Amino acid sequence: MEKENNINFTNAITLVHSIIKQKKNGKINQIFIDGTCGNGHDTIFLTSLGYVYSFDIQYKAIEIAKGYNLKNVSYINDCHSKIGEYIKENIDGAIFNLGYLPGGDKQITTKKETTLLAIMTVLELLKSDGVLCIIVYPGHKDGKDEESSLLNYLSELNQKEFNVMVIDFLNRINNSPYPIIIERIRRENE
């Protein structure tokens, strides 16, 4: 296998990108959601695989990402909890890189209530064989609350419809970020 197809364990973000690329590589006309545009890095990655709807509540984040002049992307300056108001079609995958905007105001973070609504909506939109990757940041209070809420909800998903995997870095300190990977095995009506 070529090196570019190997899974990369450097950090949560590179691991998530490796998993999505491995799972979705070579398929055409794919649709993705970046539930937290931030500085645009996940959006950049996802546009290499298909069309992307990139959400962020902060206009500053959208402006940063627009600076990359990407094709195949719609930027939506709204809360990710409103994904269902913008997207009606089924999607191939999504990334949520939770927490706060790197280099931005650390008081503005994703919140458990809106994140949970967004995750529920994305799971409804996810095609069979689709993948949702969530990077959790438990190192601050809002992140810890989000983590608890997500783990409670995701642990109850029907195992005949979803695989849910938590990948934690056991030898890292300070509550380092970690990914949750959710694969839709099949849709109930398929």
- Reported as a single tens digit per residue, the pLDDT across 30-49 is 999 999 999 999 999 999 99
pLDDT at residue 170, rounded to an integer: 83
> Between these two residues, 49 and 24, which has the higher pLDDT value?
49
* Superfamily, domain 3-184: Vaccinia Virus protein VP39 (3.40.50.150)
Q: In Å, what is the CA distance from 40 to each residue of 4, 14, 153?
A: 21, 14, 27
> Any idea which residue has 């300190």 for tokens?
173
Who wins on pLDDT, 177 or 171?
A: 177
Predicted confidence at residue 5, as pLDDT, reads 58
Residue ranges per domain, the chain? Answer: 3-184
Q: What is the pLDDT of residue 3?
A: 45
| Structure-block tokens of residue 62 | 């959208």
Query: Coil, helix or strand for 55?
Result: strand
Whether the pLDDT of residue 133 is over 70: the answer is: yes
Mean pLDDT of the chain: 92
The answer to whether residue 71 scores a pLDDT higher than 60 is: yes
Per-residue pLDDT for 190 more than 80? no
Cα separation of 160 and 173, whole Å?
35
pLDDT at 8 over 60: yes
